[in-house]
A and B are shown apart, each in its own frame.
Chain A
Amino acid sequence: MNGPIRRVVLVLGVVFLVLVVDLTYWQAIAADRLRQNPRNPRVELTRSGQERGEILSADAVVLARSVPDPLDPGAYRREYLYGSVYAHVVGFSSALFGDRGVEAAHASLLRSRRDLTTSGILNALLGDDLRPRSIQLTLYHELQAAAARALGDRRGAVVALDPATGRVLAMASAPSFNPNSLVGTNAAVVWDALTESTGGPLDNRAIAGSLSKLLTSEGTITLDEMDPLSALGIATRVAGAGQDGLMMRPYITAGVFDADSNQVSQTDPEPMADTFGYEAALSLYGESRPLVVGGASQGRPVQAVGSSGVAEAGAGEPAGWFFGVWPATRPTIVVAVVVYPDGPGGGGSGRAAAASVGRAVLATWIGMIPTGASDE
């Protein structure tokens, strides 16, 4: 009787081996394909369902937050409270299309740290906080809203910097999009429309490249790929020229807070070693002339200076650019604008359009500073 029993064991052993091979196929070889299968319900759940930290402006306005999903108890929905205004800076977190902007660069801080690495478990047992962190940006809500409003539907970008520190006070790009539509129910349709749109609404024109790639985990922006012709490139170099050559590394994350609003870390201003393009900016800065901006009528020291011009942007029509600095001595803001040709107001009139956008942003900033605050 032992003969047949041994043969049964052998066959059962082969069956188990086949099962292991098949499991290996599904869990290792075909796993990627299955994880991306649109019929897989996890695709939508994995990231959109979890709570993420808030993203706030410098003046503590909530820009992005997670709210409990009314349709799915225990899950969360991401909400972008100002939609297209911060679309290129805050970005979005989508299970289907990945993360962009600050949502991508600080993804590990924003999501709750429930990854159960050994150190994570030990930290949790020692009473560490597992809840998601919040990110405070350097952008001022009023200034950002004004920048986005001034750009309107022109194809271009605005960047406002604090020249002494490199803080980015505003960063807007147009055309823009509503990130809420990328986390909602019709996300796939919206995504297709956005990627196929000739205006390129997903591109951040304030920097030449993708913010999520250039943004470091410390919140600063890598310079090497910062196109000197982009709004951020112009602003950074003009800011350096106004500071006697001390170019500060632009940064967008002011600090990180835990769920109880205690500050966990903050970004410190840092000078840049690479001063590529600075000479050209210095000569332009020297040629800048007084500007008339809206704030003049409110009895504040105006003394704004600026310049505008036309630059070649690839093979197309020349782009209009503008920069403005306020006040002329010891400036608190540098605004740079680029308006690209093929939108309304591009080309020859791009220069005037860029200047009018820049002046509007400067006027907003001047209006935000309480009277007397700037003359120390």
Chain B
Amino acid sequence: MVRASGRPDSMSRSAELVFVCGSGGLAAFGVLLVNLAREEIRAMPALAAFLVLSVAFGLLLVAIRAWAPDATPLLIPTASVLAAVGFITIYRLDENLASLHGWWLLLSATMSGLWLYAVSEKGLGQRGGGWWPLLALAAGLVVVPSLGADGGTIWWAWSPGPAVVLNPGEIVKLVVVVLFAILLSERQAFFAAGGRYTAPLHPARVTTTWQSLLLLGLVLIGLAIRDSGTAMIVVGMFCVMAYMATNRSAYLVGGLGAGVIWLVAGPWLSEGLQTRIAVWTDPWTQPEGPGNRLAEGLFGLAAGSLSGTGFGLGEPDLIPEATTSLALAAVGEELGLAGTVVVLAAYALMVVTGFGIALRAGEVFHKLLAGGLSLLLGGQTALSVAGAVGLLPGTAAPIPFLSYGLSLTMAGFLILAVLARVSHEERV
């Protein structure tokens, strides 16, 4: 058994803490610059930014030291840098939203700490325990009532104040990945055989089929109508995770096929999707304004050029959805290509670290959990950025840690906690 302290290649936990406080300092400096650009010198917002970032990630580090001490150390510092850049960008766009986001960071850190504590006694187990029906029920409760709502009134979207809507879509993605990991690890042999070697009414086949139908059916139909980005991510997650579990490339072909069908058939299903695809095909002849998020986002990126305008000096307010799905365009305007490349590099580092955990994990369930969650981080980021630069039709997918959102931040912190726990168990 090799302990963390015995690993010569690892960053020590104190170094991690110093790094996280550095991210707090970065956030404080950015907030100071934003205020300077407004010709104000204000110490309080900068101090608050420092405290929020340092305390949130510090809490997570303390929880990891207590309940997953052998976890690999690269994840948290990288996430804290991204969260700092995201916090400055949100603060720059909307001060009130930033203070709300600060609370979400603290709340998410607390929640993930509590999860680490809860799981510390029994460990992750081999199949996620008997949790999957409850998780499926949770995902279903969130998704089913939104059928046909097309972005309208959604019963679970709780609005505590103007312009603040809590939308647990990101938590749903996390839950779905956990469900897939449970399902695929339980029925690995079935999926590997592609169902060919079991009779149509064989109990294993029946069980697996209705589990799959329940999971995919519940989640997809609803999402495809009102949130195509999430639907795409869920389909993609299932296909790639099934590929990881079985090494059958047929799942990848199926996933790509579903993507093409979605592109072709999407416009008939949803008017919103129709606009997004029209804008994607040719952003320069579509009407200007918030609807043309591709053109407006590219204008923002172009305004930043190589080194950016500097915090507070650009016009990212002109970018629609700048605090959520086009967060990278807002970062690109004020930090330039230098900033966007650093942000992407940080995600790449985080995702590679996550997959490294998956590669070293002992249990199939753990591999799929770590692999799936890393894929969720990387895939969603790639989908969001590809939408911002016009490689894919724009989706509403926000970028974990960089964008505003309680659900997103909570999901991000929980992913860190799960990855840390998987990493810890692989060492013990």
Q: Which residues of A contact B (CB under 8 A)?
A: 1-6, 8-9, 12-13, 15-16, 18-20, 22-24, 26-28, 30-35, 37, 39-42, 45-46, 112, 114-116, 121, 124-125, 130-131
Which residue in A3, A16, A27, A125 is a CB contact (below 8 Å) of B337?
A: A27
The DSSP consensus for interface residues of chain A is helix
Which one of B112-120, B173-181, B375-383 is at the A interface? B375-383
Evaluate contact between A28 and B385: CB separation under 8 angstroms. no
Interface check B240, CB cutoff 8 A: yes
Q: A16-B347, A26-B301 are in contact. Are A8 and B355 (CB under 8 A)?
A: yes
Residues of B within 8 A of A130 (CB): 36, 39
Residues of chain A within 8 A (CB-CB) of B39 are 112, 114, 130-131
Q: Which residues of B lie under 8 Å from residue A115 when comparing CB positions? A: 310, 313
CA distance A115 to B312 in the complex (A): 10
Shortest Cβ gap from B45 to chain A (Å): 16
A116 to B367 CA separation, bound complex (whole angstroms) = 47
**Which of B17-25, B69-77, B242-250, B271-279 is the contact stretch?**
B242-250
Option from B37, B302, B347 in Cβ contact (under 8 Å) with A34: B302
From A8, A20, A24, B375 is in contact (CB under 8 Å) with A8
Q: Is the CB of B391 within 8 A of A19?
A: yes
Q: Is the CB of B33 within 8 A of A121?
A: yes
Report if A13-B36 is in contact (Cβ < 8 Å); known contacts: A4-B243, A35-B302: no
A116 and B310 contact, CB distance less than 8 A: yes
Chain A residue nearest to B247 in the complex (CB): A4
With contact pairs A5-B371, A26-B302, A27-B340 given, residues A19 and B389 touching in the complex (Cβ less than 8 Å): yes
Q: List residues of chain A with CB within 8 A of the CB of B246.
A: 4
Known: A12-B379, A15-B382, A16-B344. A27 touches B302 (CB 8 A): yes
Of the candidates A3, A12, A18, A131, the one having the most CB atoms from chain B within 10 angstroms of its own CB is: A12
Given known contacts A19-B391, A46-B315, A131-B39, is B348 in contact with A41 (CB within 8 Å)? no
The CA-CA distance from A12 to B385 in the complex, in Å, is 13
Which residues of the other chain, A, contact B301 by a CB distance below 8 angstroms? 23, 26-27, 31, 34
Interface size class of B (residues with CB under 8 A): 35 or more
Closest chain A residue to B305 by CB distance?
A31
Nearest CB of B to A116, in Å: 4
- Cβ–Cβ contact B311 & A18, under 8 A: no
Residue picked from A23, A112, A125, A131, most chain B C-beta under 10 Å? A23
Bound Cα distance from A1 to B378, whole angstroms? 19
- 4 further A-B contacts with Cβ under 8 Å, apart from A24-B337, A34-B301, are A12-B351, A19-B344, A40-B302, A130-B36
B341 touches A23 (CB 8 A): yes
The 10 closest A-B pairs by CB, nearest first: A34-B302, A27-B337, A31-B302, A116-B310, A22-B389, A40-B299, A9-B355, A4-B247, A31-B305, A4-B244
Interface of B is mostly: helix
CB distance from A108 to the nearest CB of B (A): 15
Task: Chain B residues near A28: list those with CB within 8 A.
Answer: 305-306, 337
Rounded to whole Å, the gap between the CB of A122 and the closest CB of chain B is: 11
Q: List 27 A-B contacts (CB under 8 A).
A: A4-B246, A4-B247, A5-B367, A6-B359, A8-B240, A9-B355, A12-B375, A12-B382, A13-B348, A15-B386, A19-B382, A22-B390, A23-B332, A23-B344, A28-B306, A34-B301, A37-B299, A39-B295, A41-B315, A42-B318, A45-B315, A114-B313, A121-B33, A121-B36, A130-B36, A130-B39, A131-B39
Q: How far is the CB of B191 from chain A (nearest CB, A)?
A: 12
Considering the chains assembled together, what is the distance between the CA atoms of A125 and B371 in angstroms?
47
**Smallest distance from the beta carbon of A364 to chain B beta carbons, Å?**
41
Report the separation of the CA atoms of residues A41 and B290 in the bound assembly, to the nearest whole angstrom.
Answer: 12
Shortest CB-to-CB span from B294 to chain A, Å, is 11
Say whether B304 faces chain A, with CB atoms less than 8 Å apart. yes
Decide if A19 touches B332 in the complex (CB within 8 Å).
no
- Chain B residues closer than 8 Å to A12, beta-carbon distance: 351, 375, 378-379, 382
Nearest CB of chain A from residue B7's CB, rounded to whole Å: 21
Complex: A42 Cα to B348 Cα, angstroms: 32
Question: What are the interface flags for B240-264 relative to A under an 8 Å C-beta threshold, 1 for contact and 0 otherwise?
Answer: 1001111100000000000000000
Known contacts A12-B351, A12-B379; is-contact A114 B36 (Cβ 8 Å): yes
For A19, what are the chain B residues with a Cβ–Cβ distance below 8 Å? 344, 382, 385-386, 389, 391
A27 touches B348 (CB 8 A): no
A22 x B391 contact (CB < 8 A): yes
| Interface contact B33-A116, CB-CB below 8 Å | yes
- How many Å lie between the Cα of A9 and that of B379 in the bound state? 11
Residues of B within 8 A of A1 (CB): 244-245, 247, 364, 367
For residue B215, CB closer than 8 A to chain A, the reply is no
Q: How far is the CA of A246 from the CA of B302 in the complex (A)?
A: 53
Alpha-carbon distance A13/B378, docked complex (angstroms): 9
Q: Which residues of B lie under 8 Å from residue A116 when comparing CB positions?
A: 33, 36-37, 310-313
Measured between beta carbons, the chain A residues less than 8 angstroms from B336 are 27
Residues on B with C-beta less than 8 A from A4 are 243-244, 246-247
Question: Which residues on B sit within 8 Å (CB–CB) of A23?
Answer: 301, 332, 337, 340-341, 344, 385, 389
Q: How far is the CB of A23 from chain B (nearest CB, A)?
A: 5
Query: Which A residues touch B282, using CB under 8 A?
Result: none
Q: Is B358 in the interface zone, CB < 8 Å from A?
A: yes
B298: chain A residues within 8 A (beta carbon): 26, 34
Q: How far is the CB of A27 from chain B (nearest CB, A)?
A: 4
Contacts of B311 in A (CB 8 A): 116
* A27 and B33 contact, CB distance less than 8 A: no
> Smallest distance from the beta carbon of A208 to chain B beta carbons, Å?
36
Distance, CA A236 to CA B304, complexed state (A): 46
**Residue numbers in A under 8 Å from B41 (CB-CB):** 124-125
Please name all residues of chain A whose beta carbon is closer than 8 Å to the beta carbon of B359 when the two chains form the complex. 2, 5-6
